[in-house]
Amino acid sequence: MLRNWVTHEEYQKRFIEELALLPETEKSRVVSMDKPLSKLYLLNLDNLLTVIKPLYSNTGSPVKNQQGIIRSLILTLDCNEHSITKWANKVAADHLLCIACGFEAGQAPSHSSYYDFIKRIWLASHEQHVKRKLRPKSFTAKPRNKLKAGQKLPPKHSGAVKKLADLAYRGKLREARPEKILQEFLARCKEVFYCC
């Protein structure tokens, strides 16, 4: 169950109020992080509600801070942090990062919430992903025939493109796009930036 979706205007208002209450020592960090903070301040995630809501059931334990997790994942790129576990601990311990992501002080989610969110937006099964990674790669030998100058090898799978085109024309291609929701995210965020 999705709960407490904070609008972009509310986030911006709370962001400014919280920054004004920071001590002087933290304000120098705000200046040094002006570009990432500006990016998060302008990033309107209201369009993503229609994409995220179907990922959660209407019953069960409610989740919160999904917008904050998205902002936090964007901020990881600007801070060059590649470990979600380390990043989640860093955000939980840093008041400025909590403000930037939209978390309340002391209520930043743990790394398991980040992984749960990523698992929901990536439509592939984790077990299939692990099997594919662990499957040994097949070895293909190089062709033994030496080609003369200007000669090409004959195609190994002649007619493969025609078969795929026929399947696409009939609408029978497999729908295996685990990145579909992530692409919708990016498209909606792109719309927001073009509107600004």
* CB-based burial, 100-123: b 16+ in 10 Å, e otherwise: bbbbeeeebbebebbeebeeebee
Two tokens, residue 23: 């001590």
* CB-based burial, 72-90: b 16+ in 10 Å, e otherwise: bebbbeeeeeeebeebbeb
Q: What's the rounded Cα separation, in Å, for the pair 10 and 168?
A: 45
Two tokens, residue 83: 């470990």
Nearest-CA neighbor of 186 among 63, 84, 51?
A: 51
* pTM (predicted TM-score): 0.74
pLDDT in tens, 151-162: 887 777 888 889
pLDDT in tens, 21-38: 888 878 888 888 999 999
Residue 47 has pLDDT above 90, yes or no: no
